[in-house]
Amino acid sequence: MLLAITREVSRSIVNCELTFLDREPIDVDRARREHHEYEAALRQLGLAILSLPEAPDLPDSVFVEDTALVLDECAIILRPGAVSRLPETESIAAALSPYRRLQSIEAPARLDGGDILRLGKHLYVGLSSRSDTNAMEQLQDLVAPDGYEVHAVSVHGCLHLKSAVTQVASDSLLINPAWVDRTSFEGVKFIEIEASEIHAANGLLVGDFVIYPRSFPKTADRLRRAGIQVLAIDADELAKAEGAVTCGSLVFSV
């Protein structure tokens, strides 16, 4: 069975961290409706949901992906690059502890889960404004005993590696080539986003479906033409907080 850990949108999301976007008003109620639609999509695809309660004082806490990396063998509690997000990890560690052996990235290293793309036993780590080489080296030491290899990837122009590239099929990546170099990845095919939809490279692969924002219809058509089944949801309000569909859950087998 697949389980998704999620967290309710914080009432303080209006004070979220922003790096590449200008601040816009965020409608908290609408953001919560979008998040509930996201959870419904996960349920539709057969996942069980462990929904954590709102963290009123943690604006970005709905984006649980940044707090942990869950592998088959263990879960690694990360150390988010924004200081305001460091307190998010305690409750995530508690939620994961019944399911996985826990390990941790230690200070002063910084690593957001949005900067980790897993392809089998290969972990690609984006070196972004939120993640550094210290954390990448710690991660390699933690996962090497279980046969994983860690690869550094340069990221520019966006928040996270998975802002620029995500897995959308067993052998395919959706990519914005302006933000990441495709030669960083081996043994996969690429689907380029529609150039006019610069934030369109983030989709969440669950089984044979990709959960994907409705706001990028041209790129969605490219996915469908490639034979990929798209489950479209609204995600515009959460996108104002530099969030994307991979950010909102930790998905793993139990």
Q: Which residues are catalytic?
A: 160, 247
Using the Cα atoms of residue 179, residue 10, residue 67 and residue 16 in order, give the sign of their dihedral.
positive
Tell how strand 75-77 and strand 149-154 pair up. Answer: unpaired
Task: Let me know how long the chain is.
Answer: 254
The phi, psi pair for 218, rounded to 5°, reads -70, -40
Q: Which residues of 203-242 are buried (b: 16+ CB within 10 A; e: fewer)?
A: bbbbeebbbbbebbeebbebbeeeebebbbbebebbbbbb
The position carrying tokens 């592998």 is 71
- Quick check: bond before 217 cis, omega within 30? no
Look up residue 122 and give its two tokens.
């290969």
Cα distances from 38 to residues 35, 50, 244, in angstroms, run 5, 13, 11
Look up residue 201 and give its two tokens.
């490279």
Q: In the chain, count H helices and then E strands.
A: 6, 15
Tell how strand 102-104 and strand 75-77 pair up. Answer: parallel
